[in-house]
Structure 1
């Protein structure tokens, strides 16, 4: 199946465009409320990371979001134009020394809400997969 794609400039207020994109996908593909909640949180968190951390909130840089549907899987791919990051060396937000720190929760959340999270292109691209069955 072809991917459905959207591109937004790196502005935090564009998260609402992403929310609408996910709402439209829910109607089109009829996924249930449980997975919808997980998708909404994980995808908006990932796009927000791409805007703030990846593209440094530079409105001249874009974030691309695409959605592909396979038999029992829905996959969202988020791509930014930033420098990338080392996703293997992120601190564990649940470790006692990190509990009070505001950062590092987004990827932790994504890993807990998605069935699969895969980073590519030095962290500039992330794939979030959700099983529908």
Structure 2
């Protein structure tokens, strides 16, 4: 069964109060700086509790930022990646947006297909969905929103 996730040409809705927003060039060393800033902010706000949760969110953020830099912006230093942390009374969310063309859901390998196990890519969305409460793609896939309920 193909992987299901929200994928729309629409812009994302209001994600709540912006807590941290940053813009970074599409180079991998900048990814680590952004990842560490986002994780530090998540810890400071007590949105992350414990080493295991830190490790899982580090993995999700790394996957999202690498995808934006590598697949979205194709390592073009002229293109930027926007990363942000937002909060509502019930949840917090991460937004990662690139300047790429997006992707088609039909291009995402079916995780239940045994042939997919041999592919070098295609497991990132499955990974993110297993850790976050919701994974949504806007602007045809160039804007990723990861949601997590509080508490």
Normalising by the residue count of structure 1, what TM-score does the alignment of the two structures yield?
0.90
Does 2:49 correspond to 1:32? yes
Could you tell me which runs of 5 or more consecutive residues in structure 1 were left unpaired when the two chains were aligned.
Answer: none
Match of 1:65 in 2: 83
Does 2:66 correspond to 1:55? no
Whether contact under 8 Å (2:69, 2:81) holds in the other structure is yes
Q: Tell me the alpha carbon deviations over residues 41-79 of structure 1, each in whole angstroms, 9 at most, x when there is no partner.
A: 112211110100000111110100010022231100010
The separation in 1 between residues aligned to 2:87 and 2:106, in whole angstroms, is 28
The separation in 2 between residues aligned to 1:70 and 1:99, in whole angstroms, is 37
The farther-off stretch of 86-95 and 57-66 is 86-95
Runs of 4+ in structure 1 off by over 4 angstroms are none
The farther-off stretch of 42-51 and 87-96 is 87-96
Shift of 1:108: 1.5
Does 2:124 correspond to 1:111? no
Does 2:141 correspond to 1:123? yes
Match of 1:101 in 2: 119
Whether contact under 8 Å (1:75, 1:127) holds in the other structure is yes
Shift of 1:35: 3.3
RCO higher in structure (CA 8 A, sep ≥6): 2
Does 2:103 correspond to 1:85? yes
Q: Tell me the alpha carbon deviations over residues 15-62 of structure 1, each in whole angstroms, 9 at most, x when there is no partner.
A: 211221123213321220243333221122111101000001111101
Normalising by the residue count of structure 2, what TM-score does the alignment of the two structures yield?
0.80
The farther-off stretch of 1-10 and 109-118 is 1-10
Could you tell me which runs of 5 or more consecutive residues in structure 2 were left unpaired when the two chains were aligned.
Answer: 1-16
Count of residues in Structure 1 that have an aligned counterpart in Structure 2 = 133
CA RMSD of aligned residues (A): 1.6
